[in-house]
Amino acid sequence: MEFYAGRGDESMYDELMTLLNRSFEFEDGEKGFLGLLPKLYKPEYNPGYYNYVVRTPDGKLKAAVGAYDQDVYVAGVKLHSRGIGNVAVIHEARGEGYMKLLMDMAMKEMIADGVDFSALGGRRMRYRYFAFDSAAPIYKFRVEGHDLRHYFGDEHGGSFEFCEITSPGAPELAEMKKLYEAELLSSDRGDIAKFYDTLKTWRQRVFAAREKGTGRFVGYSVGHDNISELVLANDADLDEYIHGYMKSQGLGSLGVGVPYYKKNRAARITEFAADASLGNTERYAIINYKNVIAAFMKLAATEAELADGRITMLIHGFARDEKLEIAVSGGVPYVEETSKEPDVELSHFDAINLLFSAVSPLREKLPAAPRSWLPLPLFMYHADAV
C-alpha cells in the first residue's frame, strides 16, 4: 500500500471515528465525537468525505483534518463557509508534519472551491500559520436574578411556560426552525433532524417557550446557564423570556451572548445586566474579502445608521490581492473592485483585525466615517461551530 494524503470517503467511518476519539483521548460512541457533534459525525452525514486524511503504507490512518461546508445567509446574501474541526494526529505519529500537510491541503482547496470564509476553534498562534486569526465580535452579558427582581419587580417573569427540547420529534422544532431561518443571519442547518442535531452541538441544552393561556410560540434558546443563541418571534418578549427562563430553571445568574449586529437587543439588555463586555468568538480566515465585507456591511446597516463616506483598501489577502472601494451613500453600503490608488494597504492579518475584530488599534488611523462602520458583524452561532 502506498502513502495516501487526501479526502476520505464513507468506507472509513469506523476507522476515522476511532482515530479522532483516540487522538483527543475521548471514549467511543456517544461519549466521544458522535455525542459531542452529532450534526457532523453521524454515519448518514458522511464525515469521511469531509475529512482530509493520511494513510501510511502500513494501512493505518494516522491523521485527519475535518473541513465541513455550510452556506450562510447574511441579510439576504449567500456566503459559502467551510469550517475546520477535529484536527487530529494519532499520538505515535505526532511530529511527522501530517497536520501541516492536511491543513495546507484543506486551505488550498478552499481557494479552488470559491469558499468565502472559514472558522475554527483553537489556539490563536497555532492557526495563524494557516491564515486564521481572532475575529467576529459578540456582546457578552451577565444577568443576575436579584437585579431583575429590583428592576422589574417580583411578579415579572411568569408569563411563559418553558420546555426542554430533548428529541428530534419535539413538536416545537418546526416553529423553532422557521423562526431561525427568518433571522437576518442564519446558516443552512438542513432538515428537522439535522436542525435538532445542530442545536445539540457541544451537548448543549435547548429550551423553547410558549405564552401561558394563549399557547403563542415565543421562541427558543440554546445553552443552560449561558445562552449562546436566543431566537424570538418578537424582541418585545426579550425581558420576559430572560427573567422567566431564569425563574423556571432556578438560576441566580445567566450569561447571554448577543451578535454584534443586534444593536437594539444589546442596548436593551444593557439596561438590566450586571456586567457587559465585547469580545471575539473564534478564529476566522477570510478567503474572499469582497463578498464577506459586502454581506456584513449590509447586515450592519440593518440596525445601525451607517455614515456616508468611502475608502479604498488594498488587501494582500491569503488567497489573492484585492483592491476594493468600500462606501456608504445615503446610508446604503456597497463594495466594488477598483483601480484607484488605495487609501490603506493591509496585510491579510491586519485586514482581519481592522475589519472584523472587536478591538483594533489600526482602526484609529482611519477617517471618521469608515472607522464608525467597524468592526463589521462577522458572526456564526456556537451551534454552527465545528
Do residue 236 and residue 303 come from a single domain?
Answer: no
Backbone angles phi, psi at 115, to 5 degrees: -65, 140
Residue 55 has pLDDT above 90, yes or no: yes
The enclosing domain of 27 has a CATH number of 3.40.630.30
Residue 113 near residue 74, CB atoms below 8 Å: no
Instruction: State the pLDDT at residue 159.
Output: 97
Tell whether 130 is covered by a domain. no
Confirm whether 219 is domain-assigned: yes
Chain mean position to CA 250: 29
Q: By 3-state DSSP, what share of the chain in percent is helix, strand and coil, each rounded to 5?
A: 35, 30, 30
Given a cut of 90, whether residue 188 has pLDDT beyond it is yes
Alpha-helical (H) ranges within the chain are: 13-23, 33-36, 38-41, 98-113, 124-128, 145-152, 172-181, 192-199, 238-249, 263-270, 289-300, 348-356, 368-373
In a domain? residue 67: yes
Q: Last residue of a domain, which of 279, 294, 317?
A: 279
Q: 231 in a domain, yes or no?
A: yes
Which residue's entry shows cell 459586502? 294
Same domain, 205 and 305: no
Query: pLDDT tens digits for 296-331?
Result: 999 999 999 999 999 999 999 999 999 999 999 999
Whether 91 and 18 share a structural domain: yes
38 inside domain? yes
Any domain includes 383: no
Mean pLDDT, range 23-35, rounded to an integer: 93
* Residue 132 in domain: no
- The predicted-structure confidence for 258-278, as pLDDT tens digits, reads as follows 999 999 999 999 999 999 999
Pair (165, 270) in one structural domain? yes
Of 249, 279, 309, which marks where a domain is finished? 279
353: domain CATH number?
Answer: 3.30.1050.10
Q: How confident is the model at residue 154 (pLDDT cuts 50, 70, 90)?
A: confident
- The range of the structural domain enclosing residue 83 comes to 4-120
pLDDT (tens digit per residue) in 202-249: 999 999 999 999 999 999 999 999 999 999 999 999 999 999 999 999
Nine cell digits for residue 79: 456566503
- Predicted confidence (pLDDT) at residue 375 exceeds the cutoff of 90: yes
Residue 101 domain-assigned (yes or no): yes
CA 21 distance to own-chain centroid: 24
Q: Report if pTM > 0.75.
A: yes
pLDDT tens figures, 82-130: 999 999 999 999 999 999 999 999 999 999 999 999 999 999 999 999 9
Number of domains, the chain: 3
Domain check: are 204 and 180 in the same one?
yes
- Reported confidence tier of residue 200, pLDDT bands at 50, 70, 90: very high
Give DSSP secondary structure letters for 76-140.
Answer: TEEEEEEEEEEEEE-GGGTTSSHHHHHHHHHHHHHHHHT--EEEE-S-HHHHHTTT-EEEEEEEE
- Look at residues 279, 301, 318 and tell me which one is the last residue of a structural domain: 279
